Structure formats: structure tokens, C-alpha cells
Chain A
Amino acid sequence: MMKKITIGIGCAVIMAGIIGAGAFVNAGLTPSGKFVKLREEANKESVSEDVVIKGKNTEITEAEIKDAAIFYEAQGESQEDAIEDAKEELEEYHALYSEASKKGYTVTEKEVADYVSELRKTVSEADNSEEVKVMIEAYGDEDKYWEHMKEVYMTRLVVEKYTHDLLEDFNEKYTGELETDEYNKAWDKYFNGIKEDAVNREKFKTE
């Protein structure tokens, strides 16, 4: 019995050492540095495209959640919290897509291809392009990343069109000075309300 306890304590110490060493290695990294490390590790794992959350009109896959969780984990959240935040973010995103589709927003493949091509140019010319390029490289092959973006933007561009119009409507009604802290707070309140309503209407359920 005593031997088992000793072995158990020994294993716990070794595990704590391994986890501690991992934390120590990550400790010196910036969130972007951690993102790159986590992203590269994730590339080695197999990806499940199983639907794990289903809404009335949209579905969220396990792969999407894992990809999104990396962003939150890189910012210091525990893996569990990161998964929860990723689910919340993706439910909002998909609910906005559902709303946009219902309101008639659409895109064509040609439109998306042109948009992604322009986006690639914007990334290369942006003032922080170097730090973003490092993050994109962490996905592996850069050309494949941009090909994948064409799939992502078949959905995302629909949402972008919708949220762009929401911003235009909001700015027309807002009477104070734009781009101040007060304005940003007012926008958050307005946009969060829209996202909350959209998520409620979608009635997401875990599969």
C-alpha cells in the first residue's frame, strides 16, 4: 500500500514537472508566439469535421472549435475556458451568418476569390504584416492557407456584408462623436444585443 502511494506521489511529481516545464517554455512567449507554437502542434493532430453544435440553420464542427480555441489558449486561458470561449464566439459568428442569409445577403465564388486575393495583398502591405505573416506561416503551406480562406470567406464575407451595414445604420443614428471610448461602448452594447438575439433565435444544441 505504502509502495503504491510512493509511486503515485512520484508520478504526480514527474507530471507536475512536465506540465511545469511546458508552462515555463510558454511563459516567455507573447500571445502571438504561443499561438504559433499551439498552431504548429495542432497541425500534427488529426482533425475531426464532426458536427458538435447544431443550430436551426447552421452547424459548428469540432475542427472549428479547436482552431478557434487556440486563439484563447494563446492569450493565457486554460484549455477548458478556451474551448468554452471558442464555442461562444463561433455560435455568435454562425448566428450572424444565419441572420445575414435570412436577410438576403449572398456571395458568389468569383466575388470571394477576388476578395481573398485583395485580402492577401492587404496582409502583405499592412503596417503589422510581419507579425501576421508569422502567424499565417504557422498554418503550414501559405498557398494552402489562402486556398482555405476561399472556403472560410464563402461564409465570412456574407457576415461581413451584414455587419458592415449594421455599422452604417448605427453610425447614422449615433449623435455623439465617433471613435471615442463612449462611441465604442455604445457600439458594443448595440452589436452585443444583435448577436445575443441572433444566438437565441438559432437555438444551438450540443450534439
Chain B
Amino acid sequence: MMYLLSNTVSVANAASKRSEVKKTYIFLVPDGGISSCSFDVVYTEDYSASGDNNAFKKRTRWYTANYTYASEKPKFSIGNVVHKKSNGDKIKTYSKWGHLDGLFPGGVDVCGTSKNTEKATYKKNTKNKGELAFSVSCSGATLPVKTGKATIKLGTGGK
């Protein structure tokens, strides 16, 4: 099996879109030290084309994280994938996640992967987007919760 890193990979009429976010956040904490959380989140959407439409049949979440901390571990959470219209209105939240085998590099504190196989069909020229949100916080630190998301544009061009 090949592990492909390009943003859009096409095989016959099946393809995949991918979004990756890497971040490192640091927190000064009351014990006098500095805690940190470095993470890498990858969100993918697999789809196949049929006429003017694309059927999105599978989406995956991959993540790795490393921490430094003493008495309070920073909390890193990833959420569900949400499909939204271009104006931000929610279309659907994908909350059923199943096991997915994954291969990860060594030297990470935490890693995981999961998949959702609910189907969604959109026009090829849709302006809809998929979002995978994440957050990082650290108890005792004065810095606010850090939030972000990996985003995929679900349109693939066409009329």
C-alpha cells in the first residue's frame, strides 16, 4: 500500500482530499516551568465522481501529539468532522467513528486514527467545506484555550 502525501490523489473516478495542521503551543505554568503540546492533525475525505456529483463515502482523522508537563498535562482534543455550507451553516456532524489501522512514526506520546463511513453527495462545484476542529488548553496557565481546524473544500470544480 502506498502512503500518498499530495493534497488531492486520483485513482480512476475515486479520489481523496487531505488537510493537515501542525502546531506547537506553550504555556507558562504555576510550578515555574513551561508546558507544551505539539501536534499534527490530518483530515481526509475520500470521494468518487458520478456525473455532476461527488459522493463522499469515507473520512478519516489522524493525529499525533507530544507533551511536556509536570503536574498538569495540557489537554489536546479533536472533535467530529462537520460539513458546512459556504455561509457557515452546519449540514451534518459526523460523530460515529470506527477503528482504522494506521502506521505512525516512533517517538510520539500519543497517536491515533479513526474513520467514518457515512455518505454525503454534493455537486462537483459545491462551495461546501468539511472541518475537523481541535483544541488545546492547559490548566493553571493564563493563556486562553487554543482552537483551530483542518479544513477541506468539498468542491472539485465542474459546472
Contact = CB atoms under 8 A, between A and B. Distances in A.
Contacts of A191: 73
Contacts of B146: 127-128
A29 to B, nearest CB: 10
Nearest to B63: A179
In terms of DSSP, what is the predominant structure of the interface of chain B? strand
A68 B142 contact: no
Interface string B75-89: 111100000000000
Given A31-B144, A179-B76, A191-B73, A90 B26 contact: no
B155 interface: no
A62 interface: no
A119 B69 CA distance: 12
A132 B23 contact: no
Interface residues of B, number: 38
A178 B114 CA distance: 10
A-side interface size class: 35 or more
A135 B34 CA distance: 11
A167 interface: yes
Nearest to B72: A89
Contacts of B28: 35, 71, 132, 135-136
A113 B73 CA distance: 23
B33 A32 contact: no
Nearest to A69: B30
A34 B70 contact: no
Contacts of A68: 30-32
B43 interface: no
B64 to A, nearest CB: 10
A54 interface: no
A126 interface: yes
A107 interface: no
Contact of A177 (B32, B67, B75, B114): B114
A204 interface: no
Given A135-B142, A179-B65, A123 B26 contact: yes
Interface stretch (B6-14, B105-113, B116-124): B105-113
A86 B68 CA distance: 20
Interface string B9-48: 0000000000000011111111111101000000000000
A181 interface: yes
A178 B143 contact: no
A160 B68 contact: yes
A83 to B, nearest CB: 11
Interface of A: 30-32, 34-35, 64, 67-69, 71-72, 74-75, 85-86, 89-90, 92-93, 96, 119, 122-123, 125-129, 131-132, 135-136, 149, 152-153, 156, 159-160, 163-164, 167-168, 171, 177-181, 184, 187, 191, 195
Given A64-B32, A159-B71, A191-B73, 9 more contacts: A71-B140, A163-B69, A163-B73, A167-B73, A171-B110, A177-B97, A179-B65, A179-B76, A181-B77
28 contacts: A30-B144, A32-B143, A71-B29, A75-B142, A89-B72, A90-B30, A92-B71, A119-B68, A122-B24, A123-B26, A123-B34, A126-B24, A126-B25, A128-B143, A135-B142, A156-B33, A156-B70, A160-B69, A163-B69, A164-B68, A177-B97, A177-B112, A178-B111, A178-B112, A179-B112, A180-B77, A180-B78, A195-B71
